Amino acid sequence: MNFNDIKSLLQNSFGNHFNIEQKRNHLYQIFVPIFYDDGDMMDIFIQDTGNELRVCDCGMTLMRLSYTFGISTEHRKKLLADILNADGAIMDNGNICIPSSPELLFENVMQISQTITKILALRYTSQRHVASLFYEDLDEYILSALKDFSPQKGYAPLKGREEYGVDYVFSIKNKPPVFLFGIRGNEKALSSALSVLAFQKENIAFTSVAVHDNLGDLSIVNQKKVTNAMDKQFYDYSSFEETSSEFLLRLAA
């Protein structure tokens, strides 16, 4: 379909409440009164592949989402895939698309706007369930990316005193084990520091590591307690993801 054909189809549905621009061959951006939650007009495009029309976003949704919510783990990828599957959308190298046809063009424009809204709402899901996502991200990363260090989840070094637990233990040949604590919130910070002190009192040899969701969220008192207890701290999840493998390799050297 050419530019005028698509414009005519949209005019039948949107009347005068739209505009259309050709961005390049077979790709058109449409401007309709559908908005992001920050007030900007939503980025919606129509692509003519030669075989079908596709309503798409040209990657703008994931770009916006990446500012506050990265699709970096299998859990988050599944959240995104569930939305796409439910709405009949597909992902093409970051471009969210809904296959369309001339008679369904209006419906699919409205449909993709809802899909985009749902995907961008993942950042609010992140805020509401940030504790769950932090621990899920940490668990997935450790058990996959750090599997060469033989991580064991849920470890209690003191028999009969399981209240002093370790989130993950790494066994390093000819070296003390690494006890890793994922910390989000003051309660977990305090319990982690107390566990380290209990192990030290029993003369257990180990290297203690704290991975924080955000160290700055802790009270000053608990920041000091964790800092005094731990041998190594990662101040947020991203710093752990970037450098944890190198850190463990240095310990093993």
Asked whether residue 168 falls in the same domain as residue 236, the answer is yes
- Judged against a pLDDT cut of 80, whether residue 157 lies above it is answered with yes
* pLDDT confidence tier of residue 206, bands split at 50, 70 and 90: very high
| Percent of the chain with pLDDT strictly greater than 90 | 63
Confidence category of residue 125, pLDDT binned at 50, 70, 90: low
Amino acid at residue number 47? Q
pLDDT score of 15: 74
Could you give the residue ranges of the DSSP H alpha helices within the chain? 3-14, 60-66, 74-86, 105-120, 122-128, 130-145, 186-201, 220-229, 237-252
Average pLDDT over the chain, rounded to an integer: 89
Domain co-membership, 156 together with 234: yes
The rounded distance, in Å, linking the Cα atoms of 189 and 181 is 9
Structure tokens at 86: 């439910």
Q: What is the pLDDT of residue 60?
A: 95
Query: Which pair of tokens denotes residue 186?
Result: 């003051």
Q: Which domain holds residue 33?
A: 3-128
Q: In terms of domains, do 97 and 185 share one?
A: no
- Provide the b/e sequence for 107-126 (b: ≥16 CB within 10 Å): ebbebbbebbbbbbebeeeb
Same domain, 104 and 163: no
Confidence label for 93 from pLDDT (cuts 50, 70 and 90): very high
CATH of the domain at 172: 3.40.1350
Shared domain for 75 and 169, answered yes or no, is: no
Grade residue 77 by pLDDT with cuts at 50, 70 and 90. Answer: confident
135 and 195 both lie in a single domain: yes
How many domains would you assign to the chain? 2
Q: What pLDDT is stored for residue 248 in this prediction? A: 95
pTM: 0.56
Q: What is the pLDDT of residue 131?
A: 55
